[in-house]
Amino acid sequence: MNETAARQVWLARSCETAPPFPGWTDEDRLWADQTAARRIGERATPESFVVQRSALVSERLEARDAAVRRVQRSVSWRPWIAPLGIAAAFLAGLATDALSAGTRINVLAPPLLGVLAWNLVVYGLLAARGLSALAAGRSLRRGWLTHVVSRFGHGGLGRGGRGSAGGGSVASRFLGDWLSLSAPLNGARAAAVLHAAAAALAIGLLAGLYLRGLAFEYRAGWDSTFLGPPAVRRLLAIVLGPASAVTGIALPDVPGVAAIRFSAGPGENAARWIHLYAATVLLFVGLPRTLLALRAAWQARRRARDFPIPSDDAYVRSLERRWRGQAARVQVIPFSYQVSQSSLRGLQARLAAELGPEVELVVAPGAMPPDTPPDTPPDTPHGGPFVLVVALFSLGATPEVETHVAFVQGLVQEGHARGRLRVIVDETRFRERFASDPRRIDERRAAWRKALAETGCEPQFATLGDAS
């Protein structure tokens, strides 16, 4: 699927996963299923169903809530960023008298050497970062400047979540998830802008020098406290040798270098030095930066046309199962309490909002003997695959590091291997006891969040059963 389709899928995901958008009903869900199925036909692929259904959900959400409309616009890439950045860099170079001090050019110390050195450092950093990512087997991490340009490339960030309570919650969740998911794509776009702007800056510097050379005569020479003509000749051969070979413009010999020393005379007409430095800049800045920009632009275009989404995402897989008519199997592992049938029905209804109406719960034994080691993994029912593993606790229990936290830590690796691990805390019985004291409920929730923080699993709180 392309970028637009993936964005609509993730918006629908933010609306239909817990906590769901309050204005989105079972009737809306059924309408989206039936309309998408009717439009794509029986022979379509599951991905076609996901894309078509998400487009319908996105369209209806935008019609209902202004916050959703704003957040959709806020994550769209600004297409004018690239031409504006390139034009600004070129004009900055054009307007900068970077090579000369007046009409004299010191061939040993033109500021263009700084431009060359800066670009060589950038190439070195890019190569080191790429080799490091290759050795570690992970994707390439973008630099801070690329990150800044990537963030600036979106319009209205931070304003998309304001609106109604439900729309704002959905918009905020979608914004955070989508910016993380689209980071590689927008990083490639930002890298293309930066590389193209660097090439444009160098070309602007050269263009400005040539334009001013039409009205002024630049004189080239050198002076040095520590270097003599032979050393200067060797240094110039290193820096300008490739340009000399490409252009055919010869470098002066040692006597010729000595003759243009400013302390011995006025130097010489700077035309050949300007040509040599221009060729050097084009060879080591203009050409490589242009190639890097084209490569980044190609990567961005490829990602935008075939947007990669997580292959194990529970919501997307649930839509595909719904299209095939398959049930979602969920492993439920209660900890130290017997979950009631009422709570199981509530859990099933909660998961159905995310995984689809056909949810099959496979419940593991909930009681654990007191002498069981806390890090012992529970018995696992066979007959997978499970699309989700739910560790189920009661809010009535005070969370303890030695038991509850260790239990979750023992499940983390297994849960990730299966796709996702969800920690849900059932508030039903605790609410029955402290219905008139909501402060106790808030305190116990805070205790669970604090205890499980080190596991990386954010607990979800829900009244699953009948608390009447």
Type of residue found at 177: D
**304 phi/psi in degrees, rounded to 5:** -70, -35
Is it the case that residue 466 has pLDDT exceeding 90? no
Q: Half-sphere exposure of residue 379, counting CA atoms within 13 Å on the CB side?
A: 9
SS3 163: coil
Residue entry with tokens 């060589």 = 120
Q: Which tokens is 216 given?
A: 């002024």
**Do 461 and 19 touch, CB atoms closer than 8 A?**
no
CA-to-CA distance for 374 and 113, rounded, in angstroms?
64
Give residue-wise pLDDT tens across range 159-197: 444 444 445 577 778 888 888 888 889 889 999 999 999
Q: Is 66 exposed, middle or buried (0-12, 13-18, 19+ CB in 10 A)?
A: middle
Domain presence at residue 177:
yes
Q: Tell me the average pLDDT across 88-114.
A: 77
138 and 284 share a domain? Answer: yes
316: in domain? no
CA-based radius of gyration for the chain: 32
Encode pLDDT of 369-425 as tens digits.
344 444 444 444 444 577 788 889 988 888 888 888 888 888 887 655 445 788 899
Do 115 and 135 lie in one domain? The reply is yes
Among the candidates 76, 101, 133, a domain finishes at 76
pTM over 0.75: no
336 shares its domain with 207: no
Domain boundary among 242, 270, 305: 305
> Does 311 map to a domain?
no
Write the pLDDT tens digit of every residue in 185-231.
988 999 999 999 999 999 998 998 898 888 888 899 999 989 999 99
Tell me whether residue 319 is in a domain: no
Which tokens belong to 286? Answer: 């203009």
pLDDT of residue 146: 75
Work out whether strand 219-221 and strand 268-269 pair parallel, antiparallel, or are unpaired. Answer: antiparallel
For the record, the structure tokens of 400 come out as 């303890």
Query: The domain spanning residue 351 has which CATH number?
Result: 3.40.50
pLDDT over threshold 70, residue 451: yes
In 285-351, the DSSP E strands lie at 328-334
- Number of other CB atoms surrounding residue 135 within 10 Å: 8
In this predicted structure, what is the pLDDT of residue 143?
67
Q: Does the residue 16 lie in any domain?
A: yes
Q: Is the pLDDT of residue 233 over 60?
A: yes
The verdict on 101 and 144 lying in the same domain is: yes
End-to-end CA gap in the chain: 46
Structural domain of 15: 3-76
Q: Which stretch, 2-16, 337-351, 381-395, has highest mean pLDDT?
A: 2-16
If one counts the domains in the chain, the total is 3
- Of residues 105 and 369, more confidence is placed in 105
Shared domain for 138 and 228, answered yes or no, is yes
Domain match, 88 and 71 both = no
* 65 to 8, 52, 70, 163: CA distances (angstroms): 15, 20, 9, 7
Give the up-direction half-sphere exposure of residue 278: CA atoms within 13 A in the CB hemisphere: 16
Mean pLDDT of the chain: 82
